Structure formats: structure tokens, C-alpha cells
Amino acid sequence: MKSIAVMFTHGPHFNASGREGLDTILAISAICQKIGIFFIADGIFLLLPNQEPAKILAKNFVNLFKILPLYEINCLYLYANSAIQRGFNMQTNLILEVEWLQTDIWNKKLSAYNHVLTF
């Protein structure tokens, strides 16, 4: 079976990328056993708890990321450089347990997947 990486590069609000990516993950999880989720650039903001999108008339889909372990999707990676640039550190409270990766390991993990979908 092929493996698929899903990379989130956009924040949770003002576009549909995050929601579309999450929907894609849930759909492909039925047919693909190896799925890796990668958060880079503003995509790391998808991992922040206590978001209040209703204040900008948006829906809160971010908490749905918490169901990924129920689908046995446990390969979750955060690009450390992006996180540090945005003021995150290893103690930052996130909605999922993710593995913080430096550039060389990030590239190695990502290249292990047959296909990469970017949202």
C-alpha cells in the first residue's frame, strides 16, 4: 500500500485549507495504512488550543484534529524552525502530541512517503 503525507502550511482561519486537509485525512484513512501529518509554517497554528473562531464568524474545526489517534494516525510532525520563529517552544500547549523535527530529520521523514498532499 502506498503511503501519504499530508502537510499543513496555512493557519486555521480565513481559508478552507485546514478543514479540507482534515477531511482528506479522514477519507484516505479508510484506504491507506501509512499516513503522516506534517505541520509547517503557519500550519502549526492548527495545533493551538482554545481558539475562538466564532469571533470572526468562522467554525471551529480545529478540535476535530483530536480524533486522529482514533483513526490510528499517530505519525504527527512539527517543523521545529517554524515553531520557534512563531514563538512556540517545547512547553507550548498543543492539542496533539507531535514530534518536533529539525530540517534534516524533517526531510528524511517526508521523503519516506510516496505522495505528499499540501494544504
Residue 3 pLDDT > 90: yes
Q: What are the chain's domains?
A: 3-118 (3.40.1260.10)
The rounded distance, in Å, linking the Cα atoms of 29 and 57 is 30
Which of 4-18, 25-39, 102-116 has the lowest average pLDDT? 4-18
pLDDT in tens, 61-106: 777 889 999 999 999 999 999 999 999 999 999 999 999 999 999 9
Q: For residue 87, what pLDDT is reported?
A: 96
- Quick check: 107 pLDDT over 80? yes
* 18-75 pLDDT tens trace: 889 999 999 999 999 899 999 999 999 999 887 765 666 667 777 788 999 999 999 9
Q: Between these two residues, 77 and 16, which has the higher pLDDT value?
A: 77
